[in-house]
Amino acid sequence: MKDFLFILIFVPVVSIAQTAALHEKAYQHQSGTIALVDKRSEIQSDSIPPDQTGMRNLSSIELAQEMVPGWNVGNSLEAVGGETAWGNPKITQRLVDSIKAAGFHAIRIPVAWSNFMDTSLHTYTIDPTLLSRVEEVVNYVLKDSMYAIINEHWDGGWMQPTSTQQLYVNNRLALMWKQIAIRFRDYDDHLIFAGMNEVMVNGDYGTPKPAYYAAHNSYCQTFVTTVRLTGGRNVYRHLAVQGFNTNIGYTLSGFIIPTDVTQSRLMVEVHYYDPYNFTINTGTGYTTQWGKNATIITDAWANESWADGQFQNMKTKFIDKGYAVILGEFGVVARLNLGSAALNAAFAGYRRYYVQYITRSLERYGLVPFWWDAGSTGNNGTGIFNRLTGAKAYPDIIKAIVDTNDINNTGTSVGMLDLFSRPETFSLMQNYPNPFNPSTTISFSLPSKSIVSLKVYDLTGKETAIVVSQELSAGTYSRQWNAANMSSGIYFYQLHAGTYTETKKLILIR
């Protein structure tokens, strides 16, 4: 530590003795694993005295509440191959103006710095062109008096949290963030740095091992230490540190808040995509309903009470102890090809309800929501704005996010009666999928309360299943029929509702 302390005399952060002691404690806290050997002089160079100009006396919790709600300009500056490589147009002031006008107060800007970085000499020098482009986008946001967050996104997965990679990652992370921090050092507190993203061991989705947690925690400490030691306004800048894989459960159990020389300027970042099958699963096994009003089988474990519990736990663990919590990503894909207009509309209602409930629950417990917008507004996309024009692609979803009236009464502003508009006529939709094996979904609409019977018959007219037999209120419903014990062939399903009767054919293929 001797040469480390010698270098610190050039960085009078708070006081020389206090700073040295705190940073020494930070390194010892991680059992010496940060050990920025041979890079310490580079990390400490170009430091300047602390500068509190433009850095208001706001705690992270106070500042975070000014960011509600937030929006991600995803799949752009982190795209492999360049900003437009993944199909999105370049980010413009026009787009940012539209986000501001829609009611958002912060934009998270994911960046993959290694896309344009010289790694050949292990100096990890970022291409000045990328730094300039990120700065241009940051300026778009700040021009509209919004908050901007820039991070180190996935970036090829080089940030593996293992003991064998720990020294390498800490060195590279420090060299990278030193460059970023110095480039943006003169910006005021409307710019927040976020050290990482969803860091995990590639392919290991199980509970993290203690060594994984230790490595990850050391990366968070390296980020904070490196930024602070560049001096200037960075001494007082609000910084966001991430839990392991930004998973709430892992963050609650294994995350250690970094030691910081500046009080009340750290935020904790997690993400939320529960339940996966409803929110972002675009392959087999996806679900189309969520919450207390679901009428078919769903991932019931991740219902309203689960979400409330997760956010309450984050509040208790961090917010109540002085650390703001950023929910850096959440979202639900659009599903536009479910087999019929009625099914698409029904899912859209559940999607709106989910977005409103989650947003309001987050705000009720003091977390800051950031919608994940990856650009595409088509099927399986999370885009809610037209990236080229800034037009609202899904005004109802945007309303569900930004309308914070009565946040303690979830589901009222865009309530269930609005989400599922009353059908004008009785109708029975074609089952989907069809042909199927072994289960299929049958949907129907009721314009008024009715006693409903939905049954399945074989070719001989023999009744083989009763899918529904009850009184239902007006609305659109979906029910699953599992034919696991039935033989392949043609079947008929018939709906009786009041005086209305309709029959359709379905095909079971083994």
445-482 pLDDT, tens per residue? 898 999 999 999 999 999 999 999 999 988 888 888 99
- Cβ atoms of 214 and 163 within 8 Å: the answer is yes
The 10s digit of each residue's pLDDT in 308-347 is: 999 999 999 999 999 999 999 999 999 999 988 888 888 9
In the prediction, which pLDDT does 476 show?
80
Averaged pLDDT, 4-26 = 38
270: left (phi over 0), alpha (psi -120 to 50) or beta: beta
Short-list 270, 259, 176, CA closest to 221: 259
Give CATH for domain 51-417.
Answer: 3.20.20.80
Q: In this structure, what token pair is assigned to residue 34? A: 């940060």
In the prediction, which pLDDT does 20 show?
38
Greatest C-alpha distance within the chain: 91
In the prediction, which pLDDT does 40 show?
38
363 is catalytic: no
Which amino acid makes up residue 53?
T
| Cα–Cα distance for residue pair 314/61, rounded to 1 Å | 13
Q: In this structure, what token pair is assigned to residue 133? A: 């482009």
Strand 427-428 vs strand 368-371: parallel, antiparallel, or unpaired? Answer: unpaired
In the prediction, which pLDDT does 102 show?
98
Short-list 57, 63, 55, CA closest to 324: 63
pLDDT for residue 390 is more than 60: yes
Which amino acid makes up residue 429?
M
Question: Per-residue confidence at 44, pLDDT binned at 50, 70, 90?
Answer: low
SS3 content of the chain, % helix, strand, coil (to 5): 35, 20, 45
Burial class of residue 486 (count of CB atoms within 10 Å of its CB; 0-12, 13-18, 19+): middle
Q: In this structure, what token pair is assigned to residue 15? A: 């006081």
Strand 106-109 vs strand 427-428: parallel, antiparallel, or unpaired? Answer: unpaired
| Cα–Cα distance for residue pair 430/439, rounded to 1 Å | 14
Please state the separation of Cα 383 from the chain's center in Å: 13
| Edge-first strand listing for the sheet containing 427-428 | 427-428, 439-446, 475-482
| Fold that domain 427-508 belongs to in CATH | Immunoglobulin-like (2.60.40)
Cα 138 to Cα 45, 148, 149, 417: the distances in Å are: 25, 6, 8, 40
pLDDT for residue 8 is more than 50: no
SS3 of residue 389 by DSSP: coil
Short-list 37, 12, 107, CA closest to 387: 107
In the prediction, which pLDDT does 36 show?
40
User: Considering the entire predicted model, what is its pTM?
Assistant: 0.79
Beta strands of 94-211 (E only): which ranges? Answer: 106-109, 117-118, 125-126, 147-151, 191-194
Q: Give me the residue spans of the domains in the chain.
A: 51-417, 427-508
Look at 5-9, 90-94, 133-137, 408-412 and tell me which has the smallest mean pLDDT.
5-9
Question: Do 51-417 and 427-508 agree at the fold level?
Answer: no
Number of other CB atoms surrounding residue 43 within 10 Å: 21
Choosing from 78, 83, 152, 329, the catalytic residue is 329
What mean pLDDT value characterizes the chain? 88
- Whether the link from the prior residue into 69 is cis, omega within 30° of 0, is yes
Which amino acid makes up residue 492?
F
Name the phi and psi angles at 475, rounded to 5: 155, 180
pLDDT for residue 4 is more than 50: no
Choosing from 78, 83, 152, 198, the catalytic residue is 198
Averaged pLDDT, 276-282 = 97
CB neighbour burial string for 432-449, b if at least 16 within 10 angstroms, e if fewer:
bebebeeebbbbbbbbee
In the prediction, which pLDDT does 120 show?
84
Short-list 301, 306, 213, 206, CA closest to 253: 213
504 beta partners: 493
Q: Percent of the chain, pLDDT > 70?
A: 87
| Residue that the structure tokens 């300026």 belong to | 139
| Cα–Cα distance for residue pair 113/134, rounded to 1 Å | 10
Cβ neighbors of 113 (< 8 A, separation 6 or more) are: 126, 130, 152, 155, 176, 180
Length of the chain: 510
329 is catalytic: yes
Strand 489-497 vs strand 450-457: parallel, antiparallel, or unpaired? Answer: antiparallel
Name the phi and psi angles at 105, rounded to 5: -120, 0
| Residue that the structure tokens 């559940």 belong to | 350
Short-list 183, 91, 173, CA closest to 129: 183
Question: Higher confidence at residue 326 or residue 409?
Answer: 326
Strand 239-242 vs strand 231-232: parallel, antiparallel, or unpaired? Answer: unpaired
In the prediction, which pLDDT does 421 show?
53
In the prediction, which pLDDT does 413 show?
37
Q: Read off the DSSP letter of residue 60.
A: H
